[in-house]
Amino acid sequence: MEGMGAKLSEIAKRLELKNFTESLDLGKREVHVADVNRPALQLNGFYEHFEVNRIQIIGMVEQAYLNSKTSEKRAEIYEKLLSYDIPCLIFCRGFVPEDSLVKVALERQIPVLGTDRGTSEFMSELIIELNTILAPCTTIHGVLVDVYGEGLLITGESGIGKSEAALELIKRGHRLVADDVVEIRKTNARTLMGKAPAVTKHLIELRGIGVIDVKSLFGVECVKEVQKIDFVIKLEDWKKENNYDRLGMEDEYMDILGINVTCHSLPIRPGRNLAVICETAAVNHRQKKMGYNAAQELYRRVQENISNGL
């Protein structure tokens, strides 16, 4: 299998799968699509439109069909199914593959795994994991913080104060997700999930002080592993000649992996409390999602006064 994909060893570890073909190195097998397949039709001999790139799942129906066949017929079915270079074969509900299948799988270098979970439950979890691992990914220089449940991505030039703003938010009870570098994955058409790279997890760099461990200094309640990105605040140096939005009638957006994320440009001046502004922006963003927009309400009141001749 060519190209980048999800390593089967990682999938097996995350989902706690049993390996019936222990001599095969799962780290050498990759999965490249998030869909899975239950090969009921294939077991019956229908291989047109067979998606060989998908993980194949054996559930109650497939196992019952196999049990209805003679050992000789089952051997033929195994030979045919495993003649295709499928990523792996997974047995659900605690079913154990018979020796003849394992033998063919070892010859064809196709891993056979198992789980005690129900088929539908396991398939749902597997698809979620595959979508997460295989999601389009990018990295952004910034800070990601959970503020009142809203994922706030703070961006701006190096040294402008992103980490200091995040530290103040942490001191006010909010949670750090990532500092300096944010790994962002597009898990579906509308959702961006961010987290920290393993090397910088729970760490913040403060100029003049150095690197601090937020989890150790402030406790586990001040950090979070992963967070949906809801809006962006872009910090920039205040310039007198620039015109800054004072009403917020029209939202600005930042394109991340093809998704438009609401973005606010925030000019930095001495005396501005960034943490309070970030908190207010988070609450205001949540209020907009609930259907209330203060700027539009102001516009409505002005129009109403004009109509009344005031």
Which sequence positions are flagged as catalytic? 141, 162, 180, 246
22 class by beta-carbon count within 10 Å (0-12 exposed, 13-18 middle, 19+ buried): exposed
Within 8 A by CB and 6+ apart from 227, the residues are: 144, 146, 151, 175, 177, 193, 194, 195
Cα(166)–Cα(176) distance, integer angstroms? 7
H/E element, 130:
helix 119-134
- What value, to the nearest 5°, has the Cα angle with vertex 75 and ends 70 and 76? 100
Cα(91)–Cα(93) distance, integer angstroms? 7
- Strand segments (E) across the chain: 6-7, 18-19, 30-31, 36-37, 55-58, 89-91, 112-114, 137-141, 143-147, 150-156, 175-178, 181-188, 191-195, 203-206, 210-213, 226-228, 231-237, 252-256, 259-268
C-beta separation of 139 from 183 below 8 A = yes
C-beta separation of 178 from 196 below 8 A = yes
C-beta separation of 60 from 81 below 8 A = no
Handedness of CA 169, 173, 179, 185 (dihedral sign): negative
Q: Hey, how many other C-beta atoms are within 10 angstroms of the C-beta on 285?
A: 20
